[in-house]
């Protein structure tokens, strides 16, 4: 072996031992990597994991749950929550899916409408929902005057009736969040290769049939993921109900997210509040597991 070959061999050896940060980090590099992760770990543990464990501990007394279920307000809140989340999320997702098809049309004015359409998403929740509250607050409010001018009928007093108030909450929720999901579905539709639609056209499937047999099956998994994620978030939606109806009339439109806060801060029963929040877990955990599964099966699509 010549000297040059030896150098090359050593070089090769060195190259093989060198870089690639994966596998094993050693010495100072490992210390650096740990140091980089420490702030993240600290934030998650101190402000995330610890409060959650603390919450479990606060709500660990079994009698709290007996108290909860003997409170008619709580049972009523469960019903309202199911209706608010169930109707709100599904209505929003279904309309978003349909509208995303509308926005794929190649017209300049449809692009302009899209810019207006995303305004609710861009608007902060507080101004937007406050405006909803004022629009419906009673005689002389904007919606009332509008229906008087258009149909000559005075609008109902929205927040005096449980179902009307719940409807207002749902409409406001759909209004605020539909644009975001429409954009997601729009992006997903754009990702479908054009030739698939062309092939469907040649086979005579257009319009409604193309949507049912081609587009929707391709979007189904995205739709499922979005619906699961949105359901989880809607379960914790505090802003909509607290700002639009404020729980009126007589707190019958409270949802779980607002009830926990009310128990804890208006009635000074923080343990009961946490227990009410914990009672969402039997629904929340399956949703999270379902979400994880749906995200994993995404790879086999297309």
Partner 1 sequence: MSVALTPGRRRRIIGEAASAALGIVIVIWSLMPVYNMMLVALDPEGENEFDGNLWPPEPTLDSFRAVLTGGHWYLERFWLQFGNSLYIGLMTMFLTVLISSLASFAIGRMRLTKVWVLTDTALLIYVVPASLLAIPFSRLMYSYELMDRLLAVVAAQVMFATPFAVLILQQFAKLIPIEFDEAARIDGATPAQVYLHIYVPLMAPALAAVGTYALLLAWDEYLYQYLLISSPKNWTVAVAIEQFFDVDEAPWNYMMAMAVIYALPPVAIFYGLSHYMATGLTAGGVKG
Q: What is the smallest separation between the CB atom of 113 and partner 1, expressed in angstroms?
A: 5
Q: What is the smallest separation between the CB atom of 201 and partner 1, expressed in angstroms?
A: 14
Q: What is the smallest separation between the CB atom of 62 and partner 1, expressed in angstroms?
A: 18
Q: Which residues of 15-25 are buried (b: 16+ CB within 10 A; e: fewer)?
A: eeeeeeeeeee
Residue nearer to partner 1 on the CB measure, 3 or 109: 109
Q: How far is CA 239 from CA 48, 121, 127, 182, in A?
A: 21, 14, 11, 21
The candidate with the shortest Cα–Cα distance to 259, out of 233, 278, 282, is: 278
The C-alpha atoms of residue 230 and residue 88 are separated, in whole angstroms, by: 10
Q: Which two tokens stand for residue 278?
A: 């914990």
Q: What is the smallest separation between the CB atom of 289 and partner 1, expressed in angstroms?
A: 11
Sign of the torsion formed by the C-alpha atoms of 63, 65, 69 and 74: positive
Q: What is the smallest separation between the CB atom of 169 and partner 1, expressed in angstroms?
A: 14
The C-alpha atoms of residue 87 and residue 166 are separated, in whole angstroms, by: 10
Residue nearer to partner 1 on the CB measure, 73 or 236: 236
Q: Euclidean distance between the first and final Cα of the chain, in Å?
A: 55
The candidate with the shortest Cα–Cα distance to 169, out of 258, 74, 273, 71, is: 258
Q: What is the smallest separation between the CB atom of 168 and partner 1, expressed in angstroms?
A: 12
Q: What is the smallest separation between the CB atom of 203 and partner 1, expressed in angstroms?
A: 19
Residue nearer to partner 1 on the CB measure, 2 or 47: 47
Residue nearer to partner 1 on the CB measure, 1 or 36: 36
CA dihedral (211, 213, 215, 216) in degrees, to 10, reads 90
The C-alpha atoms of residue 45 and residue 43 are separated, in whole angstroms, by: 6
Residue nearer to partner 1 on the CB measure, 1 or 39: 39
The candidate with the shortest Cα–Cα distance to 177, out of 76, 72, 99, is: 99
Q: Could you tell me if 260 and 53 are in contact, meaning their C-beta atoms sit under 8 angstroms apart?
A: no
As to burial, measured by CB atoms within 10 angstroms (0-12 exposed, 13-18 middle, 19+ buried), residue 173 is buried
Residue nearer to partner 1 on the CB measure, 3 or 36: 36
Q: What is the smallest separation between the CB atom of 293 and partner 1, expressed in angstroms?
A: 13
């Amino acid at each position: 072996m010549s000297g040059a070959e030896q150098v090359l061999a050593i070089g090769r050896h060195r190259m093989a031992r060198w870089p690639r940060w994966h596998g094993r980090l050693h010495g100072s590099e490992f210390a650096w990597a740990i140091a980089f992760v420490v702030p993240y770990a600290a934030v998650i543990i101190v402000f995330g994991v610890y409060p959650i464990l603390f919450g479990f501990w606060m709500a660990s007394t079994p009698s709290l749950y007996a108290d909860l279920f003997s409170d008619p307000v709580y049972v009523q809140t469960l019903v309202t929550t199911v209706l608010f989340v169930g109707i709100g999320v599904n209505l929003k997702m279904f309309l978003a899916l349909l509208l995303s098809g509308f926005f794929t049309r190649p017209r300049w004015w449809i692009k302009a409408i899209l810019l207006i359409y995303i305004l609710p998403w861009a608007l902060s929740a507080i101004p937007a929902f406050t405006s909803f509250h004022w629009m419906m607050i009673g005689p002389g409010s904007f919606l009332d005057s509008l229906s008087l001018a258009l149909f000559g009928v005075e609008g109902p007093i929205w927040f005096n009736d449980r179902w009307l108030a719940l409807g207002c909450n749902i409409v406001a929720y759909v209004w605020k969040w539909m644009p975001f999901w429409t954009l997601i579905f729009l992006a997903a539709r754009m990702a479908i290769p054009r030739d698939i639609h062309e092939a469907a056209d040649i086979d005579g499937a257009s319009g409604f049939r193309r949507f049912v047999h081609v587009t929707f099956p391709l979007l189904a998994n995205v739709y499922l993921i979005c619906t699961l994620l949105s359901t989880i978030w809607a379960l914790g939606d505090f802003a909509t109900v607290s700002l639009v109806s404020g729980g009126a009339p007589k707190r019958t439109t409270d949802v779980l997210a607002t009830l926990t806060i009310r128990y804890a801060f208006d009635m000074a029963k923080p343990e009961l509040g946490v227990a009410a929040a914990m009672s969402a877990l039997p629904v929340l955990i399956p949703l999270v597991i379902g979400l994880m599964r749906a995200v994993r099966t995404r790879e086999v699509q297309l």
